[in-house]
């Protein structure tokens, strides 16, 4: 049986500049931040990043690693974000987007799900009503409409497959072969990210024996199948500063430093130093 254990640096060594990379998790929840950090420390550049975004995309934008952002949202995911005084758009991403430093490819959350599903099923697109009547058709030239071949002749949006060169996800537990489980409240779309990718890498809080993996979580939590996993990286705390419930909550102090880091280069350097020290 294959032992797929790797280091973050070995994972980055399998990536190349110009690749399309999917990053799992949701907002500031269970992001593979140890792998993101390894990308920041590497020579990789001109990446297309597909994500339900949070600090993963913001950090990579500020570090100059991103050519194109493909996303459903990029949110700070802060407590009280519905308050009028709270930001609703991640500050680092906002700067990169408004300055024109990155190319922009926005979708609806349901569209990203369908795009990943289409790639996983190896079909060029999936039809959907999601996005009809919105500005997405105006703002995203990649979107086109199709007419139903059945008697109704309904016009639908053709959501293109979001094919990934590589996917990076973080899970609570994994075995050395790449099977992995989540222990928190939500699987997000990590399994689809891996199925849509040519190669997939799982970072995890702890690598355990397969028997312990199945004992610690119910069968439905075994979302990640080893068939879609190229490498497994044991990274305790590897989602920080994002949360990885129930192992730990979000690191609010580090997250606050990250949010403030969008305001100046000095604040960015302070955040990087604090993140490196973790």
**pLDDT of 171-208, one tens digit each?**
999 999 999 999 999 999 999 999 999 999 999 999 99
Give CA angle at 65 (59, 66), nearest 5°. Answer: 90
Superfamily of domain 8-124+166-210+219-270: Glutaconate Coenzyme A-transferase (3.40.1080.10)
| pLDDT for residue 83 | 47
pTM above 0.85, yes or no: yes
Tell me how far apart the alpha carbons of residues 131 and 56 are, in angstroms, rounded to a whole number: 25
Three-state DSSP state, 246:
coil
Task: Give the residue from 67, 70, 92, 59 showing the smallest Cα distance to 17.
Answer: 67
Angle separating helix axes 91-99 and 55-62, nearest 10 degrees: 50
At 125, the pLDDT band (50, 70, 90 cuts) reads very high
Task: Give the residue from 134, 123, 166 showing the smallest Cα distance to 15.
Answer: 166
Exposed / middle / buried, residue 215 (Cβ in 10 Å: 0-12, 13-18, 19+): exposed
pLDDT exceeds cutoff 90 at 249: yes
pLDDT (tens digit per residue) in 77-86? 755 444 455 5
Phi-psi region of 156 (alpha: psi -120 to 50; beta: other; left: phi over 0): beta
**Mean pLDDT value across the chain:** 93
Tell me how far apart the alpha carbons of residues 47 and 27 are, in angstroms, rounded to a whole number: 19
Tell me how far apart the alpha carbons of residues 269 and 145 are, in angstroms, rounded to a whole number: 45
User: How many whole angstroms from its chain centre is CA 97?
Assistant: 18
Tell me how far apart the alpha carbons of residues 160 and 124 are, in angstroms, rounded to a whole number: 6
pLDDT exceeds cutoff 70 at 109: yes
Read off the pLDDT of each residue in 215-236 and give the average, rounded to a whole number. Answer: 93
Q: Where are the domains of the chain?
A: 8-124+166-210+219-270, 126-160
Read off the pLDDT of each residue in 67-75 and give the average, rounded to a whole number. Answer: 95
Tell me how far apart the alpha carbons of residues 49 and 101 are, in angstroms, rounded to a whole number: 14
Tell me how far apart the alpha carbons of residues 157 and 170 are, in angstroms, rounded to a whole number: 31
């Amino acid at each position: 049986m294959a032992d797929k254990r790797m280091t973050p640096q070995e994972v980055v060594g399998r990536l190349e500049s110009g690749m399309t990379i999917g990053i799992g998790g949701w907002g500031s929840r269970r992001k593979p931040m140890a792998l993101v950090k390894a990308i920041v420390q590497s020579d990789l550049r001109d990446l297309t990043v597909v994500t339900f975004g949070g600090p993963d995309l913001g950090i990579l934008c500020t570090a100059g690693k991103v050519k194109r952002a493909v996303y459903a949202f990029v949110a700070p995911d802060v407590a009280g974000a519905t308050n009028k005084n709270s930001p609703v758009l991640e500050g680092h991403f906002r700067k990169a987007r408004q300055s024109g430093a990155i190319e922009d490819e926005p979708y609806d959350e349901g569209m990203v799900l369908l795009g990943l599903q289409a790639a996983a099923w190896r079909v060029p697109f999936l039809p959907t009503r999601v996005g009809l009547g919105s500005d997405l058709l105006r703002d995203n030239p990649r979107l086109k409409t199709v007419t139903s071949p059945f008697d109704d002749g309904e016009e639908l949006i053709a959501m293109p497959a979001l094919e990934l060169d590589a996917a990076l996800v973080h899970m609570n537990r994994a075995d050395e072969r790449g099977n992995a489980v989540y222990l928190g409240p939500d699987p997000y779309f990590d399994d689809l990210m891996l199925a849509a990718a040519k190669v997939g890498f799982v970072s995890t809080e702890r690598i355990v024996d397969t028997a312990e993996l199945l004992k610690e979580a119910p069968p439905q939590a075994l979302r990640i199948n080893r068939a879609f996993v190229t490498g497994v990286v044991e990274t305790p705390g590897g989602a920080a500063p994002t949360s990885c419930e129930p192992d730990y909550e979000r690191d609010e102090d580090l997250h606050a430093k990250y949010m403030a880091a969008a305001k100046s280069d000095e604040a960015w350097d302070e955040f990087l130093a604090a993140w490196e020290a973790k």
